[in-house]
Amino acid sequence: MQFTINHLLPIRIWENLGDVLLLGEGNLSFANSLLRQSAFEITNLIATTFDGKRRLTEEARKNADKVNKMGGLVLYDVDATQLKNTFTRSYQFDTIIFQFPNVGSRQAKYGRNPNHIMIRKFLQSAKESLKLNGSVLITAVDSPHYDGVFQFEEAAEYAGYQEPESFPFDPEMFPDYNHVNTNDQVSALDDHEAFLTWEFQPQP
């Protein structure tokens, strides 16, 4: 499967986000950053963490308070691969976002990288919660290593999506975003220079 890197339209995917669901939100700084800027045209935002509330860092707790004050909702213990456990079919979103997904394990699953398997399951699950013409956005490091880890084009085909497009991700568009790694609090944004946001839309 071929894929396209669209350098001419780096922010089209960040316009008119509408009803937004965020998965795997770590310290909730991305949710906070989105809500601070009206340019994203967000109508509703639900930010979720994989961890339970009690495992949140102090920074995450502060960001959760800010998200709530700005009208967002924070939910905990949400598995991106099992959205039906949290949302009934009446919850539908325009944009479902997962920034820098990482399962924090290298143990192969079904003979494949566990992150590729997680993305496949996430895309399958997200399809049930997308409005008509909605999109899934996933941001990851742009490198041959991460291309091999995620294999986004193959995951899209497996999960019943059109060929995904990728757009350069510029962290400067999100000033309050303080990305954290899965197993520590160090930012991957400091360790890498190039990032891509992949846009997925279900097959019609």
Ligand X SMILES: C[S@@+](CC[C@H](N)C(=O)[O-])C[C@H]1O[C@@H](n2cnc3c(N)ncnc32)[C@H](O)[C@@H]1O
Residues at the site binding ligand X, with contacts judged by CB under 6 A: 23-26, 30, 50-51, 79-81, 99-103, 118, 179-182
Residue with Cβ nearer ligand X (42 or 120): 120
Q: What DSSP state is assigned to residue 72?
A: -
Q: Are 72 and 45 in contact (CB under 8 A)?
A: yes
Beta carbon nearer to ligand X, 79 or 163: 79
For the bound state, the minimum distance from the C-beta of residue 184 to ligand X, rounded and expressed in Å, comes to: 10
Task: State the nearest-atom distance from the C-beta of 81 to ligand X, in Å.
Answer: 5
Q: Which residues contact 136 (CB under 8 A, 6 or more apart)?
A: 95, 96, 97, 98, 122, 123, 126, 130, 161, 199, 200, 201
Q: Considering the complex, state which of residue 30 and residue 198 has its C-beta at the smaller distance from ligand X.
A: 30
Nearer CB in complex with ligand X: 1/108: 108
Instruction: Provide the minimum distance between the beta carbon of 96 and ligand X in the complex, in angstroms, as a whole number.
Output: 12
User: Closest approach of Cβ 122 to ligand X, in Å?
Assistant: 7
Q: Least distance to ligand X from the beta carbon of 11, Å?
A: 18
Q: Are 67 and 31 in contact (CB under 8 A)?
A: yes
Given the complex with ligand X, which of 156 and 179 has the nearer CB atom? 179
Environment class of 110 (CB within 10 Å of its CB; exposed 0-12, middle 13-18, buried 19+): exposed
Q: How many CB atoms lie under 10 A from the CB of residue 30?
A: 24
Name the E strands within 25-171: 42-48, 73-75, 93-99, 130-141, 165-168
